A and B are shown apart, each in its own frame.
Chain A
Amino acid sequence: DIQMTQSPSSLSASAGDRVTISCRASESITNYLNWYQQTPGKAPKLLIYSVSNLQSGVPSRFSGSGSGTDFILTINNLQPEDFATYYCHQTYNTPRTFGQGTKVEIK
């Protein structure tokens, strides 16, 4: 199985900050990498698919980059509604696997 490792596991930031979250795959997943946002008590929400494609309706302050094994989610100008947990997700093969999550908290 492909292991997905996110770093950091949690971070504290202030509104207006730029935040980066890393995701590393245990082997190459080419561009089969997606990002989700989850707030407490809610279902995950798709933010970015295929590394860098913004899902419709997602603000442009979210962006993704990377290829192969190393990927980054960037949030520019962090907004109050962005405080949440973020998960990367590989769909290169089955079983699909998720990173362990990165919790973005208010500083």
Chain B
Amino acid sequence: EMQLVESGGGLVKPGGSLRLSCAASGLTFNYAWMNWVRQAPGKGLEWVGRIKSKGSGGTTEYTASVKGRFSISRDDSQKMLYLQMNSLQTEDTAVYYCAAVRDPTSFSLISWGQGTLVTVSS
């Protein structure tokens, strides 16, 4: 069974940095395309970005509001996904989910972690 477990959330001041981690099990991680999705309190889902598998180029893409501030990386040997968040703003406050792509045709998100809360506040 696929399992994703996020960690690293917490309280950070505006302008600060935080790195989120996502530990994967039950999937062939090195082939998986991985995404980060966030959800502000009481709001809907917002796609943050994704990283392709290394075999597909390992490239990353981001939503405009985080481009240049957030960076996604992966360590296939450890089955770990990361989200480095810099220059955090109050509007980045959200639960952050990592999610695995089901297949390279639908690109739907088949498995999600439980989420980790990031609060940006002074």
Residue numbers of A with Cβ under 8 A of B are 1, 32, 34, 36, 38, 43-46, 49-50, 53, 55, 87, 89, 91, 94-101
Contacts and interface: CB of A to CB of B under 8 A. Distances in A.
A31 to B, nearest CB: 8
Contact of A43 (B63, B97, B102): B97
Interface of B: 35, 37, 44-47, 50, 61-64, 97, 102, 105-110, 112-115
B109 A46 contact: yes
A99 B47 CA distance: 11
A55 B110 contact: yes
A53 B50 CA distance: 23
Given A43-B112, A43-B113, A95 B64 contact: yes
A96 B35 contact: yes
A72 to B, nearest CB: 17
